[in-house]
Amino acid sequence: MQIPTFPPSLLPALQHVMRPIVRLMLRKGVTYNCFADLLKQIFVDVAESEFRLDDKSPTDSRISLLTGVHRKDVRRLRSRAGGEANELPENVSFGAHLVSVWMNNAPFCAKPGKPLPLARLASAGGEGSFDGLVAKVSKDIRARVVLDEWLRLGIVRIDDQDRVHLETMAFIPQRGFDEMAAYFRHNLHDHACAAVHNLTETAEPFFERSVHYDSLSTASVEQLREAVRAEGMQVLIAFNQLAADLENKDIPPPEARQRITIGLYFYTEPNPPAVSKPKTPGSS
């Protein structure tokens, strides 16, 4: 019988972390059997790519020993392994870039972080129009196609003067599940990577901090929510501007390029009062 060697606090932590993921799966119709097969694939992929000895590809037997996945399943899953891309889908990364240019570059903003409403057509606004904005980022995509999609997603609106207004301070689609799922995948993955690194590596830890209270009123929570929305967004905009400036003047060779993610989040839920236990004689 194999005796687990992991820290006893790890499984309860994983159980707690997985609860919202399971909630999402149940709400979207993903069953245990479907996810269990996906989880087998992930165990095999990670063992194969990250747990090599002397940089040699591990055998099916070694992967089976590491993961607990049956050797027959290991062989089957390795034959269809395709790896995982870190990049956001092209339509999402393009949208994020376009919003960043609108937010931080003249003539599309009054100052960094203050996007201007843009004339829809180049015939009315020239290079400072929405047509000009899309052309600055890509000559291969028609501005009308982007505009129609962004109207659908709730990212922009058009006023009665035919000007396009940015309705969000970042590329955060309001109505497109596929686009929101892409950010869910990207952001939660990178946050988890930072946390796992801090738990398992001896190198310098990644910055990962939070503030938490458990006895606030609804009014206080709303005040904090608004503060995070306004001030937190300004912090991210400043980081975005710094990253854009650094990227423009610091061009490393392709093999030395690194990607970064900087995140900020807010969460609240009801906090049931603790059940008071009856005191026993002699307790205080």
258: tokens are 């690194």
Average the pLDDT over 122-132 and give the result.
94
**193 & 126 share domain:** no
- Which one of 143, 166, 189 terminates a domain? 166
Beta bridge partners of 53: 56
CA angle in degrees (0–180, nearest 5) for 15-20-22: 75
* Residue 262 covered by a domain: no
pLDDT digit string, tens, across residues 171-189: 666 567 877 888 889 999 9
* Residue 116 covered by a domain: yes
Q: Are 223 and 200 in contact (CB under 8 A)?
A: no
* Residue 271 covered by a domain: no
**182 & 153 share domain:** no
What type of residue is 268? T
Helix, strand, or coil (residue 4): coil
Average the pLDDT over 62-77 and give the result.
92
**155 & 192 share domain:** no
pLDDT digit string, tens, across residues 217-268: 999 999 999 999 889 988 988 898 888 888 888 888 888 889 999 999 999 9
**249 & 197 share domain:** yes
- Which one of 166, 189, 206 terminates a domain? 166
**181 & 211 share domain:** yes
**107 & 139 share domain:** yes
Please check the confidence at residue 83 and state whether its pLDDT lies above 60.
no
pLDDT digit string, tens, across residues 96-118: 789 888 988 889 999 888 899 99
pLDDT value of residue 284: 42
pLDDT value of residue 209: 92
The number of distinct structural domains making up the chain is 3
**124 & 73 share domain:** no
Domain that holds residue 145: 90-166
Q: Taking the CA atoms of the chain, what radius of gyration do you get in angstroms?
A: 24
Q: Please tell me whether the overall predicted TM-score, pTM, comes out greater than 0.85 for this model.
A: no
